[in-house]
Amino acid sequence: MTASGGRRLLAALNPAAIKAGLAPGMPLPDALSFVPGLMTVPADPAADTAALTRLAEWCSRYSPWTAPDFQAGGDSDGVKIEITGSAHLWGGEAALVADLSRRLSRQNIAHRLAVASTLGIAWALARHAADAGAPALPAPEDERAALAPLPVEALRLDLDTVQGLRRVGLRHVGELYPMPRDALARRFGDAVARRLDQAFGDLPEPLSPLGETPSRRVRLSFAEPIADPADLARAIERLVEDLAARLAREGMGARRLALGFHRIDSRVEHIRLGTARPSRDPRHLAKLFAAKLDTVDPGLGVEDMILAVFAADPLPPEQLVSHFRDPPPQAGEDVRRTSGGQVGASSDIAFLLDRLGNRFGLDAISHIEPRQSHIPERASIFVPINGSPHPPAARAPGLPPPLAGEGLQFATGEANSLSRLASIKSSPASGGGSPRRSRGQVGASAKPPRPVRLFRPPEPIEAQWVLPDDPPFRFTWRRRQHRVRHADGPERIAEEWWIEGDAAADPRGSGDHIRDYYRVEDEEGRRFWLYRDGLPGDPPPRWFVHGLFA
Amino acid sequence: MSFSQVMRDDFPEGMPRPGPLAALRERIRHIEQPRSHGVLPFGVAAIDRALPGGGLALGAVHEILGQGGDEEDGAAACGFIAGLLARFRPGPVLWCLKRPDLYGPGLLAHGLDPARLVVLAAPRDEDILWAVEEGLCAPGLVAVVGEIGRLSLVAGRRLQLAAEHSGVTAFLLRRWRNSEEAARERERPSAAVTRWRIAAIPARDIDDPRLRHLIGTPRWWVELLRCRGGVPAKWEVEVADATGHVRLSPELAGRPAAAQRLAAEPRLRFG
């Protein structure tokens, strides 16, 4: 029952109501006069849409090319499934339809089913030829003949066109067959011709599936629905083994997977996974799924589990070395065990990264990488391992990328054996201008010292100094006062004027992007990296603590 | 060794069968001295003497605390750990933190190549704990560092077992949100094999009076608060250099007062 313009109308009816003579669109008072004991509930289109979408998702157990089919009429909503590639798994189209019909009946969903070579014919047959319990499965050569006696509404035309056709006396689809297309188009618009072409397969009508199309799928169906987590875990192991065997034959490893749990109440739950490196190790994948198994609600039971791969990369055989450690023994148990050796160390790390990435997101795992920049917060950034660099908050659009082909290395030092970077002899020292070394450091090394902690963004402090050029003798940071006993510096770092739109962490945009850094030690020995932002003068420049030394 | 194995009848002729008591003693000895993965000496005789085995135990959990304001920032502890990691065998290190304020060039100054690090940013202590435990189950890692605040004794024991099993060394850099949390948590018992407190102390005085205002060689006050199989001790050292080594600070002339004050009451510096 819906409300429309102040009147209450019937929206949808069950078969018994139709038999009693009611029809959609009838006003409620009239309906009640027909059938005094009529039960009504308010219509909820949103819930209907959601329910149909869920049903379509459940129907994907037959084929990943499944989508809900919404028509403007509302009454003839349905689900369309492309079963070309999967009918054989059920023993043929008829068997598949019978299985679907049985399961839908079990859920008390009234349905009419049809199978045909094109979506147009199937749609038409389902709504106008098939009946409950009598699905329409014409042989391919009989399809045109099956379509002919159906009313013109079966062509998915809008109301005006249908009325136009009927007015001219064209009531059945078969009457349209011999008519020239251009005449139809002139008289009734393109729609009629288009629908006919689609029905006959002359015009392709691809089915956009609900959700992404997987590249590989393995399915496990259960005679009895299962809900116990232990059973689900065992089923996961079976599925990943099947998938692993298949991927091994193809020499591929999975990068993105989804495991669908099809419940008997036609809801589908999913676990989605990503891996940092392609993997077809059944134990590793099973463990990743098992870690998220408690997010799945099996309801009253799961009848199918479908493991789908959405992205895969080549994985030659020698990279696959499973070095999965058994869990540590309980206290008191013998700790004797043989050492695993060096082989497979890198696959250990890959598995670790997968487990961390699936819990925290691959964005949360990063490497520290150097960048060619004088600005301290840009000279070293966190780069997530899945590629897309996460620059610090104040990233200018023209941030210099790493030198192509060469790579950078932090300051001095030999290349580490695990370093992914080639080394170059020197890296840029500080300062857009020349650092004023008149007050240099004792035992000056080639590189000015850098702190172990760097605050992003730098934290403002209140500083007091004697001369404008001096480091402060006292400053207040986080509501604590520090008295400065010793100081090194200044080290001048200017903005990188060659980068367009460089903000250099100075929101004032005054163009005076000079920082004078001082390494100061307070009376307790803590060593801070402070800087004065802007040249001394009026207005008084601001001071920040940028980092802490060890 | 289980009882059933001991009770087997296949001992060589003439040898007295060890009784169940001996087997139990053997088993207890085995539990008390878990499998050793070796040690990493500091290269400083005074420190290595205080540690069982002559160095920092590998395949074990070590806790590093800061002092005063550094209990929130963990800068000195970070440098200390960097110096140690620099001297481990080459290999990847997992570093788990809640605040992404780790700075590569600073780590390099203490000898640690930042390219070895895999950095995980996680929001809560429970996440850090989980990640450290996962890292300890990956023998491909050389070490795991977890910047963690709250840690229960049971969880610490679990980490210790995992470290012993895999040989990966764990450093728990204790870092708290504020001084209230620090006051609550720093006294909790821990299951770590060693527990250290690192505090930055004023650098060594420079002899040249014209350069007195500069910072000299930075120093740490390193306290071994607790050591399984050893005794607590304290040292004044120069911070880890570019090779990761620390050195004992030579006796100071003219500034004994500061060091003695610290030795007496290290906890009362921040009110």
Residues of chain B with pLDDT under 50: 4-9, 253-271
Any chain B CB within 8 A of the CB of A420? yes
Full set of structural domains in chain B with CATH = 35-263 (3.40.50.300)
- Residues of B with Cβ-Cβ distance to A524 under 8 angstroms: 68, 200-202, 269
- Shared domain check, A278 and A241: yes
Please identify, among A185, A206, A227, the residue that sits at the C-terminal boundary of a domain.
A206
Please identify, among A186, A206, A226, the residue that sits at the C-terminal boundary of a domain.
A206
Q: Is A335 inside a domain boundary?
A: no
- Shared domain check, A311 and A221: yes
CA distance A548 to chain B (A): 6
- How many Cβ atoms sit within 10 Å of the Cβ of residue B115? 22
- Shared domain check, A282 and A220: yes
Distance CA A342, CA B89 (A): 13
- Shared domain check, A222 and A200: no
Q: Is A403 inside a domain boundary?
A: no
- Residues of A with Cβ-Cβ distance to B100 under 8 angstroms: 382, 456
What is the CATH classification number for the domain harbouring A201?
1.10.150
What lies within 8 Å, CB to CB, of A410 at 6+ separation is A370, A380, A427, B104, B105, B108, B113, B114, B115
Q: Which chain A residue's Cα is nearest to B105? A: A450
Q: Is A358 inside a domain boundary?
A: no
Residues of chain A with pLDDT under 70: 2-6, 72-76, 318-346, 387-446, 497-512
CA distance A248 to chain B (A): 25
pLDDT tens for residues A297-345? 988 899 999 999 998 888 877 555 443 433 444 443 333 333 333 334 5
- Shared domain check, A232 and A266: yes
- Residues of A with Cβ-Cβ distance to B118 under 8 angstroms: 349, 353, 365-367, 385
Buried b (16+ CB within 10 A) or exposed e, A99-114: ebbebbeeeeeebbbb
Q: Which chain A residue's Cα is nearest to B137? A: A325
The total domain count for chain A is 5
Q: Hey, are the CB atoms on B115 and A367 less than 8 Å from each other?
A: yes
Q: What is the pLDDT of residue A68?
A: 86
Regarding pTM above 0.80, the answer is no
Q: Which residues on adjacent β-strands are paired with residue B111?
A: none
Q: Is A330 inside a domain boundary?
A: no
Any chain B CB within 8 A of the CB of A531? no
Q: Is A175 inside a domain boundary?
A: yes
- Shared domain check, A79 and A166: no
Please identify, among A297, A319, A341, the residue that sits at the C-terminal boundary of a domain.
A319
Q: What is the pLDDT of residue A414?
A: 30
Q: Hey, are the CB atoms on A550 and B110 less than 8 Å from each other?
A: yes
- Shared domain check, A202 and A227: no
Nearest to B140 among A346, A360, A380 (CB): A346
ipTM above threshold 0.85: no
Q: Angle at the Cα of A314 (from A312 to A317), degrees rounded to 5?
A: 125
Q: Which pairs count as long-range contacts for A378-387, CB under 8 Å and 24+ apart, including other chains?
A: A379/B105, A380/A410, A380/A454, A380/B103, A380/B104, A380/B105, A380/B114, A382/B100, A382/B119, A382/B121, A385/A276, A385/A353, A385/A357, A385/B118, A386/A276, A386/A357, A386/A362
Burial (CB < 10 A; 0-12, 13-18, 19+), residue A197, is middle
Distance CA A432, CA A492 (A): 7
- Shared domain check, A202 and A228: no
A484: helix, coil or strand? Answer: strand
Q: Is A391 inside a domain boundary?
A: no
Q: Could you list the residue range(s) of the whole structural domain that residue A256 is in?
A: 216-319
- Shared domain check, A514 and A461: yes
- Shared domain check, A169 and A98: no
- Residues of A with Cβ-Cβ distance to B215 under 8 angstroms: 441-442, 486-488, 519-521, 527
Nearest to A450 among B92, B103, B216 (CB): B103
- Shared domain check, A220 and A200: no
Q: What is the pLDDT of residue B260?
A: 43
Q: What is the pLDDT of residue A21?
A: 77
Provide the residue count of chain B: 271
Cβ atoms B224, B192 nearer than 8 A: no
CA distance B248 to chain A (A): 16
- Shared domain check, A287 and A202: no
User: Which residue from A478, A464, A446 is spatially nearest to A548, judged by alpha carbons?
Assistant: A478
